[in-house]
Structure 1
């Protein structure tokens, strides 16, 4: 049973370390960023990472530039919805922000909005109405083709690739200065979790915090073994409810989860362990981390000058 819980925990923690464990209005990785910057500073001056609101600025600029590019290619294009700061906090291993939990629960309103956009966004209906040959041209103009790609081998194994052409590639070249370098830096930095997550899972500090959190939840009438158990049962818990009922129910549960996470410091423990183990891995990828941060800051400056 312990082995099974550890495997389930690893799935949720992977999501936590890519989406983040939020407890306030900062980026979910802000705690770890300070440690990462110190690791970089051993080889040069520290380079800060972006806040969530700054990430929003870049994403909005990217959509505006893609719109302009597609119109030059002879197609109509409407900017895609950009995730808000609160929406970027969805997917944490454990919710420990009570205010956020009370308002958003587990992010169901964001899920609903995304589903609606995927179904009803003007880009979707516009492309559906195009003749087949035009749809092919649209796709190539927007995303390029996989006959000419940038390929990178990931530190954790395997590889990823992206087209060199298309409006998205052109816009990233414009924002980040070099699309190929940006792609390699980003994919390297954002694919390191498998290198250190197993060590976090074996750390007694985490397992002890999860056990304390579980005892708190049981005392509050919410007997869950781990935050991941809530995620697994989330849909069954609100089955048959209306949308508004589901949101209220999830918000109530998320508030209890957050209160217990604060009382037991589970969120803080997970973030501290991420920072600790990620810093060790980052030492082997100093150049990539530095390039990633520097190019994001450059993109922010360019986005603000558009």
Structure 2
């Protein structure tokens, strides 16, 4: 669903720790949420976040509900591709899974597949081929109308808005039970990164780990000061190469990055610090966080019920 945001802190600052990229796929990344499957004590209750596999289940159910909603309104709709478990590992601050790096590099195969979907998936090509007025009607049925929106103030400042109606809104209402509440708590919880990421970047534990990682990379013949430098230079490093050559080059570099991240514990350090600082920040938003996780568990249960029908 289309959303509009006005934020006061540079997204680039957040991305340099959280994901080394914007959420080009739109998906939340590893460090935007607590460790998967762990129980987290908030507001006197034990709740847990979804595993990545469970997130995939919910996302697939959402697409199916959107399809049914569009069909009821007389429109054709093809569920959009849902990011796989492997794809959701792409974009982390540092690659430290050597096997994943050997197979995917920095996720270029996912980038190529996503670009192909944007060009040729029927959920894109079909509405684009409709006459103008029919295209407008289709888009309003799917995305709703920005004349009637849910608006949320973000913890770091600014606002984000999304249409109150439309098939995406209906699907999320059916999954989460209360779409306005879901949108509010989701944007609040996932919008906390500007409040704590700058502190992580300044933490001496991360600074020390990055320096150790950089020394390791230099020794392996890859002179980079930080994982973020690789992300910034990623495209220029493979400029002029075809897709196969670019993927091979990135796999080689990603494997070196992952091996050094393991040797220096950079990935572990970054995740630990993210958990530590995020937990402190969440203390001021414990009610929203508990509701966020509870609603996600509700969505998972409903997704599985829909699937079994």
Query: Does TM, normalized by the shorter one, top 0.5?
Result: yes
* Contact 1:127/1:135 (8 A) holds in 2: yes
Name the residue aligned to 1:191. Answer: 191
Q: Which runs of 5+ in 1 are unaligned?
A: 1-6, 22-27
Distance 1:161 1:8, change over 3 A: closer
Distance 1:178 1:11, change over 3 A: closer
Name the residue aligned to 1:31. Answer: 35
Distance 1:301 1:244, change over 3 A: same
Distance 1:190 1:29, change over 3 A: closer
* Contact 1:50/1:297 (8 A) holds in 2: yes
Distance 1:44 1:8, change over 3 A: closer
Look up the SS of the partner of 2:162 in the other structure: strand
Distance 1:46 1:31, change over 3 A: same
Alignment partner for residue 29 of structure 2, among 5, 13, 19? Answer: 19
* Contact 1:32/1:274 (8 A) holds in 2: no
Name whichever of 228-237 and 286-295 sits farther off: 228-237
Distance in 2 between residues matched to 1:288 and 1:272, nearest whole Å: 22
Distance in 1 between residues matched to 2:154 and 2:163, nearest whole Å: 17
Shift of 1:244: 1.3
* Contact 1:58/1:299 (8 A) holds in 2: yes
* Contact 2:261/2:267 (8 A) holds in 1: yes
Query: What is the RMSD of the two structures over their aligned residues, measured on CA atoms?
Result: 1.8
Matched, 1:166 2:166: yes
Look up the SS of the partner of 1:305 in the other structure: helix
Q: Tell me the alpha carbon deviations over residues 236-280 of structure 1, each in whole angstroms, 9 at most, x when there is no partner.
A: 111222211111110110000000000000001101110111010
Name the residue aligned to 1:142. Answer: 142
* Contact 1:175/1:302 (8 A) holds in 2: yes
* Contact 1:214/1:226 (8 A) holds in 2: yes
Shift of 1:44: 2.1
Name the residue aligned to 1:298. Answer: 298
Look up the SS of the partner of 2:48 in the other structure: coil
Q: Which runs of 5+ in 2 are unaligned?
A: 1-10, 22-27
Shift of 1:31: 3.3
Matched, 1:58 2:58: yes
Name the residue aligned to 1:287. Answer: 287
Richer in helix (by share): 1
Q: Tell me the alpha carbon deviations over residues 186-223 of structure 1, each in whole angstroms, 9 at most, x when there is no partner.
A: 00000000111111111100000000000000000111
Look up the SS of the partner of 2:19 in the other structure: helix
Distance in 2 between residues matched to 1:144 and 1:9, nearest whole Å: 32
